[in-house]
Amino acid sequence: MEISNLPISPSIRSKLLAKGYSGEASTGAEISIPILSVAFLFSLWLCRNPLSIGKEENVQWFTKSQSCFLSIPFNRSGTKVLLTFRYLATSEAPSYLLSSLIGPPSNSKFDLGLPCRQILASPLYTDLSSLSSISPSLLAQELSIKLEEAMEILRVVSDTTECKSSHIPNGIIPGAVTAWDMLSEEQMQRHISTGCEDLDAILGGGIHCKEVTEVGGVPGIGKTQLGIQLAVNVQIPVEYGGLGGKAVYIDTEGSFMAERAYQIAEGCICDILDKFPSNSREFLSCKERLQVNNFLAGIFYFRICSYTEQIAATNYLENFLTEHRDVKLVIIDSVTFHFRQDFDDLAQRTRVLGGLSLKLMKLSKMFNLAVVLLNQVTTKFTDGSFQLTLALGDSWSHSCTNRIILHWNGNERCAYIEKSPSLPSASAPYLVTGKGIRDINSNFKRARTM
Amino acid sequence: MFNKFSSEDVPAQNQVKASVQPKIPQSIAEEPPDVTPKRRLPWLTGIQLLSHTNQNQHFLPTGLQGIDALLGGGLRQGQVTEIVGPSSSGKTQVCLSSATHVVDKKFGVVLYLDTSNSFSPFRISCFVNQVHPYLPKELKERRLQTIMSNIYCQSVFDIFALLDLLRHVESTLKHSVKLGGSKLCLLVIDSVSSIIAPVIGGKNSQGWCMVASVGVLLKRIAYEHNIAVLVTNHMVGGENGTVKPALGESWKGIPHVRLLLSHSTGNDCGTVTVLKHTLMVSMHLHRHEIWFKWVVSFSILEHSSVLVESRT
């Protein structure tokens, strides 16, 4: 947790930053002087100067759970210079945020020149719970900061340590949901239809929201077609079996054609209208509501020309989605294109992609939308032969929830579920027609149940 | 400053020494009253450790007999178990199955930390129905609710959130009172590698420091609160085209037990191999062929029938 990210007042922040620490957890024991030898030195010193022991407050032991202060006032040429020995038993401070707020992690053996009173007066709180019972005025006095600043620190502490109650159901961690609640939520979720019924069947109804689905295949198999079909199908109103949401289409290759989107939208409306007998009331109201231009207006299109733009777009998506809450689908076509060239350092590419995928997962969970990533293929040498696998390496494979591979099966296009937590491996054929993605057997019209 | 010593001074000096010296160990031993008491773990003899292990550290079932046999009974409480495997080899399934069976046998509560949105409540309900296939409908529904209400799921998407969460879990466990069996007994992190991989490597070594923190925290939570920790990891390419577990050499020492799952394409047969174990002393890897029958028996019909039942 960086100092700049902490929700504390600018004055405290500037004070801390001026002292030169950024709030990272101090690691390692700074000094390994065992307590016994310090005590031995101390006792020696005491024996030598029995008179200058003086009052109790001159020599103070502070022992907190994992660290120990020993401050000895040491007379040297008239000015009091404090020697502060500090022994940190472990590097772990559960409240590293506190140690950065309150106690300075010193890297030098002798803390000369630091404000002595501050060190003496600030016992290092290593546990958040020890701060929970202190009053703001006492804290302000100990740290010699203003009362408002002390209150702010305590407010931050209480925000970060919510529900310390011993009730397990609320108190394990804030934000945890039981599987039973998730099951009932999941059953009420609608899925995004792909246009092909067989494909919808093996997907368990369609593309799931709150999940990241990766679709990969050889060039020309229909990945972009599937992407555009999904962008149109997500906008079908709820009464007609869709989600009624908008789509974000992030295009890295430039393969999105507005004319094709127009065609697909027309085909989709046509199929919906076919469900109603012509000239009935529903037919007419449906015809009025579903306009092709509305469908095209519901697709937010971003054109990306380099990998930095892609990373920037992913970072910007959070703000965008907060403003446009009705977006239910984000498609990235294709996620590989800019990462396959210009990257010399493959390890860095893996790291960047890992961060990208975590952000997309977070977005899909937070905004309850589906993320679809389209990927390219590459050849890999496994088991003595060259095989086609999805690009971006082994480590990319764990950054999606579901994985679908599109391939040729003779003359047919087939989709195969390679990875899914809840669906069995299955494959289904589909067709790419003038109207979009359809079933193989869509020659005869079937009444589709909603 | 130094007085000349004479024989009369010695008893005076001794008196001062005698009065001060007891205070030193006393002041080391005593603590100011407003501080949380330092927890001193006592020294244990070998016999005490063995009896503690035998009595308290039970084996939690994973639900798959082959893996349980390989692990010597199941996931051991107090230890960190890691499952490594390439993509789609069944790691998430093992995690979900363990969570279900642990709650079913009433060991306690399960906390599932999910990084890739792959926690599937539907799959858990399938496992529950597999365990109790012959119950009447209302009992089945109630059983499902009891079991699923004891599995808590939380999503984590970056390492700072994970560290915060683990520390919060630790402090909650320290302060909470056992409420009649509803104590945390299994912590699953699926997958820990996708959180750690973006921070390690590169020019600065801060990432490794955080990996070490995560490892120490997991081991401490496991040992002090008698919890089994299950983490998953993925594979990366090593030299000469071999694959090895991700996260490198420094993560290797953190799990107590490491299992490698592999899934041969084309059939539903999977192989589980033990890479590292605290009890097995062998130079060769154990290989067991395990039929993932539960993958084979899954069908679409089951999918729709479960949905209908749970809705009523």
Indicate the residue of B121, B158, B195 with minimum beta-carbon distance to A179. Answer: B121
Tell whether the model's pLDDT for residue A340 goes beyond 70: yes
DSSP codes joined into one string, A189-210: ---B--S-HHHHHHTTSSBPTT
- Name the residue among B165, B161, B223, B217 with its Cα closest to residue B194: B161
pLDDT confidence bin for B56, thresholds 50/70/90: confident
Interface of B with A in 188-207 (CB under 8 A): 191, 193-195, 197-202, 206
Query: Which is more confident, B189 or A19?
Result: B189
- Name the residue among A111, A371, A408 with its Cα closest to residue B116: A371
CB contact under 8 A, A395 and B234: yes
CATH (one of 3.40.50.300, 3.30.700.30, 3.20.20.70, 3.40.47.10) for B55-264: 3.40.50.300
Say which amino acid occupies A167: H
CB contact under 8 A, B201 and A130: no
The count of CB pairs under 8 A between chains A and B is 223
pLDDT value of position A368:
92
Query: Which is more confident, A176 or A319?
Result: A319
Query: Which is more confident, A415 or B87?
Result: A415
Among A76-85, B35-44, B66-75, B97-106, which is the least confidently predicted range? A76-85
pLDDT digits (tens, 9 = 90+) for B256-269: 998 888 876 655 66
pLDDT digits (tens, 9 = 90+) for B147-194: 998 999 999 998 999 999 998 888 888 776 554 446 889 999 988 989
**Residues B194 and B247 sit within 8 Å (Cβ to Cβ):** no
Average of per-residue pLDDT across A150-159: 70
pLDDT confidence bin for A21, thresholds 50/70/90: very low
pLDDT value of position A45:
57
pLDDT value of position B1:
57
Does residue A114 belong to the interface with chain B, where contact is any CB pair within 8 Å? Answer: no
Interface of A with B in 130-169 (CB under 8 A): 130, 133, 160-161, 164, 166-169
From residue B95, alpha-carbon distances to A182, A219, B84, B114 in Å are: 17, 36, 12, 11
Rounded Cα–Cα distance for residues A145 and A9 (Å)? 12
Interface of B with A in 17-76 (CB under 8 A): 17, 20-21, 24-25, 27-28, 31-32, 34-39
Tell whether the model's pLDDT for residue A34 goes beyond 60: no
pLDDT digits (tens, 9 = 90+) for A414-429: 999 988 888 888 899 9
Average of per-residue pLDDT across B192-210: 85
pLDDT value of position A30:
35
Share of chain A above pLDDT 90, in %: 28
Interface of A with B in 186-215 (CB under 8 A): 186-187, 201, 204, 210-212
pLDDT digits (tens, 9 = 90+) for A348-403: 888 889 899 999 999 999 999 999 999 988 887 766 777 777 888 778 888 889 99
Predicted TM-score (pTM) of the model is: 0.69
pLDDT confidence bin for A312, thresholds 50/70/90: very high
Tell whether the model's pLDDT for residue A271 goes beyond 70: yes
Is beta strand B257-263 parallel, antiparallel or unpaired with respect to B269-276?
Answer: antiparallel
pLDDT digits (tens, 9 = 90+) for A84-123: 333 333 333 333 333 333 334 344 333 333 333 343 334 4
pLDDT confidence bin for A334, thresholds 50/70/90: confident
Rounded Cα–Cα distance for residues A396 and A399 (Å)? 5
Beta bridge partners of A61: A70
pLDDT confidence bin for A1, thresholds 50/70/90: very low
The 3-state secondary structure of chain B reads CCCCCCCCHHHHHHHHHHHHCCHHHHHHHCCCCCCCCCCCCCCCCHHHHHHHHHHHCCEECCCCHHHHHHCCCCEECCCEEEEECCCCCCHHHHHHHHHHHHHHCCCCEEEEEECCCCCCHHHHHHHHHHHCCCCCHHHHHHHHHHHHCCEEEEECCCHHHHHHHHHHHHHHHHHCCCCCCCCEEEEEEECHHHHHCCCCCCCCCHHHHHHHHHHHHHHHHHHHCCCEEEEEECEEECHHHCEEECCHHHHHCCCCEEEEEEECCCCCEEEEEEEECCCCCCCCCCEEEEECHHHHCCCHHHHHHHHHHHHC
Tell whether the model's pLDDT for residue B219 goes beyond 90: yes
Element (H, E) at A141: helix A136-143
Q: Could you say which DSSP state residue A384 is in?
A: T
Query: How do the domains of chain B map onto residue ranges?
Result: 55-264
Q: How far is A363 from chain B, CA to nearest CA, in Å?
A: 10
Rounded Cα–Cα distance for residues B40 and B227 (Å)? 20
Count of CB atoms within 10 A of residue B57's CB? 16
- Closest-CA residue in chain B for A348? B202
- For residue B254 the two structure tokens come to 């953190």
The 3-state secondary structure of A240-282 reads HCCCCCEEEEEECCCCCCHHHHHHHHHHHHHHHHCCCCCCCHH
Does residue A386 belong to the interface with chain B, where contact is any CB pair within 8 Å? Answer: no
Q: How far is B71 from chain A, CA to nearest CA, in Å?
A: 24
Tell whether the model's pLDDT for residue A309 goes beyond 60: yes
DSSP codes joined into one string, A318-335: HHHHHH-TTEEEEEEETS
Does residue A393 belong to the interface with chain B, where contact is any CB pair within 8 Å? Answer: yes
pLDDT value of position B29:
63
Count of CB atoms within 10 A of residue A29's CB? 14
User: What angle do the packed helices A35-48 and B9-20 form, to 10 degrees?
Assistant: 150
Does residue A55 belong to the interface with chain B, where contact is any CB pair within 8 Å? Answer: no
Instruction: Give the mean pLDDT of chain B.
Output: 77
Say which amino acid occupies A125: Y
